Amino acid sequence: MFYFCVSCSFMVHPECTLLPLVVQPPSIKAEFHDHSMTLARKLISFTCDACGKKGRGMFYFCDVCSFVTHLDCASLPLVVKVIRHEHPLKLISQLPAISPFNFRRCNLCVRMVNIDYMVYDCSRVDGIKIAAEIKHFSHEHDLKLIDKLGINEKCDACTRYIFTPYYACAQCRFFLHKSCVELKPRIRHVLHEHSLLLLPWTTHDSGCFGCDACGRDCNGFTYNCEECKFNLDVQCISLQYKFTHGSHEHQLIFSRSQDDRKCNNCDSKKILFWCENGEFALDYKCLTLPHSVWYEQHEHPFTLCYAPEDDSGEYYCDICEKERDPWCWFYYCADCLYPAHLECILGEFPNIKFGKTRTIDNHQHPLALAIVSKTSDDGRHLCEVCGYSFTLEAGLAYECAECKFNVHRRCLYKIGTSKG
């Protein structure tokens, strides 16, 4: 039952008629917004610029910058104190668009939140400061705090592109996100029976390891069980037992029993997270795809999309110009109407930081991980140790660009190596 005005089609619940006469002021000055916002009494659909959720009904809007927000969101306090955290939390309304972690877990409810919208963050509130310089066990030099963007580098721990705040050793091109500096040294994980130790580099001679969750090659930090030769990369370790993903409305829960089901995006049968209703599943590889990425010289970031961007019936990748499956995830630049395959944006080795070095016994210079460019007369990539082509490894190897010296990753152990 509801009350209805025939003249203007105005409808209310019976309980809503008991609300006070003045529910909201006609205008409000939110703590987190520079301009006054006006109350709109029209009942229309909108997306709140504060929380990112859909709304319908009255809302506040800013004439100056077209900012729209729910009534409740307009009253959010700038600083809050929660029971489960020792420091005050500040409402953050603008985070760098370059951030590869546009989806993060809430530390209280562990559900995923999109940091393109407002979040409460503990960084520098009421005089609390992050250490300006630290000594980290993974690097020989002191690391300095950087709070400004302007580099196109990857974090040496998670191998995702840098976002603020982060720590850096500029002379070594060594970078760590603040969150990666705070990784626990030892953890227990649902995927393995033994505790896992955080190592700043893999124990494998090649300098790379295959993550036992997502299956990708990685040369970042690893959570390792030396006894079982088991490795998890930092991105996969961040996934909790239960959480919400942007591609699905219900919670996803880790399941040991796969029942021959497949990932709804890539058809993989590897380790899956299931929706409680059993009709939807995703694997680690898809769950750890970055929500927002940059591509070469393109001026805007690409956003991960889960459904077709239009109903034209023609779906192509604007990078390789090949057809796309409309029901497979893709990256999309909304500013340029520019869709692309995941692999065309991320490349074949998204969890590899190129340029990391290894030192070998019989060469005077460090060797850097790269896609080699040297070729023999017949056009093949050749390894200086075994003499065989690099084609089986897609050209990924260690090279000394100065000497044009190239070595397979798998051949490093034959000549002796040390950490770069």
pLDDT band for position 19 (cuts 50, 70, 90): low
Asked whether residue 404 is domain-assigned, the answer is yes
| pLDDT tens, position by position, 143-158 | 999 877 767 788 999 9
| Euclidean distance between CA atoms 297 and 310, whole angstroms | 26
| pLDDT tens, position by position, 251-265 | 888 876 667 788 888
pLDDT of residue 99: 37
Q: Of 39-48, 349-358, 388-397, where does the model show the most confidence?
A: 349-358
Residues 224 and 173 placed together within one structural domain of the fold? no
Residues 297 and 346 placed together within one structural domain of the fold? yes
Asked whether residue 175 is domain-assigned, the answer is yes
Q: Is the peptide bond before 14 cis (omega within 30 degrees of 0)?
A: no
> 54, 74, 94 — which closes off a domain?
74
CB 124 within 8 A of CB 257: no
> 34, 49, 74 — which closes off a domain?
74
pLDDT of residue 238: 84
Asked whether residue 127 is domain-assigned, the answer is no
pLDDT at 330 over 90: yes
Angle at 159 between CA 227 and CA 223, to 5 degrees: 20
Q: Which residue has the higher pLDDT, 168 or 208?
A: 168
| Euclidean distance between CA atoms 77 and 345, whole angstroms | 39
Average pLDDT over residues 154-173: 88
Q: How many domains does the chain have?
A: 6
pLDDT of residue 418: 52
Whole-number mean pLDDT of the chain? 79
CB 413 within 8 A of CB 205: yes
Query: What is the CATH number for 322?
Result: 3.30.60
The range of the structural domain enclosing residue 18 comes to 13-74
pLDDT of residue 380: 56
Burial 325-354 (b: 16+ CB within 10 A, else e): ebeebbbbbeeeebbbbbebbbeebbbbbe
Residue 100: CA count within 13 A, CB half-sphere: 22
| Euclidean distance between CA atoms 251 and 334, whole angstroms | 27
Residue 145 to residues 41, 170, 175, 288, 418, Cα–Cα distance (Å): 47, 11, 10, 26, 28
| pLDDT tens, position by position, 70-99 | 888 888 888 877 655 666 777 775 444 333
> 43, 74, 105 — which closes off a domain?
74
| pLDDT tens, position by position, 193-223 | 888 999 987 666 677 889 999 999 999 999 9
Residues 70 and 18 placed together within one structural domain of the fold? yes
CB 113 within 8 A of CB 121: no
- E strands, 70-206, where? 79-80, 89-92, 103-105, 112-114, 119-121, 133-134, 143-146, 166-169, 174-177, 186-187, 196-199
Asked whether residue 95 is domain-assigned, the answer is no
Out of 291-305, 339-353, 388-402, pick the least confident.
388-402
pLDDT of residue 101: 43
Asked whether residue 38 is domain-assigned, the answer is yes
> Whose CA is closest to 324, among 309, 340, 336, 311?
340
Q: Is 209 helix (H, G, I), strand (E, B) or coil?
A: strand
Asked whether residue 106 is domain-assigned, the answer is no
Task: Give me the percent of the chain exceeding a pLDDT of 70.
Answer: 80
| Euclidean distance between CA atoms 214 and 208, whole angstroms | 14
pLDDT of residue 361: 73
Q: Which residue has the higher pLDDT, 378 or 181?
A: 181
Asked whether residue 109 is domain-assigned, the answer is no
Residues 228 and 247 placed together within one structural domain of the fold? no
- E strands, 108-172, where? 112-114, 119-121, 133-134, 143-146, 166-169
Quick count: other Cβ atoms within 10 Å of Cβ 366?
14
pLDDT band for position 415 (cuts 50, 70, 90): low
Asked whether residue 201 is domain-assigned, the answer is yes
Query: Tokens 């205008």 correspond to what residue?
Result: 27
Residues 171 and 190 placed together within one structural domain of the fold? no
pLDDT band for position 286 (cuts 50, 70, 90): very high
CB 245 within 8 A of CB 239: no
Q: Which residue has the higher pLDDT, 304 or 377?
A: 304
pLDDT at 414 over 80: no
pLDDT at 308 over 90: no
| pLDDT tens, position by position, 96-143 | 433 334 455 566 654 556 656 777 776 554 444 678 889 998 898 999
Residues 151 and 205 placed together within one structural domain of the fold? no
pLDDT at 60 over 90: no
pLDDT band for position 230 (cuts 50, 70, 90): very high
Residues 209 and 247 placed together within one structural domain of the fold? no
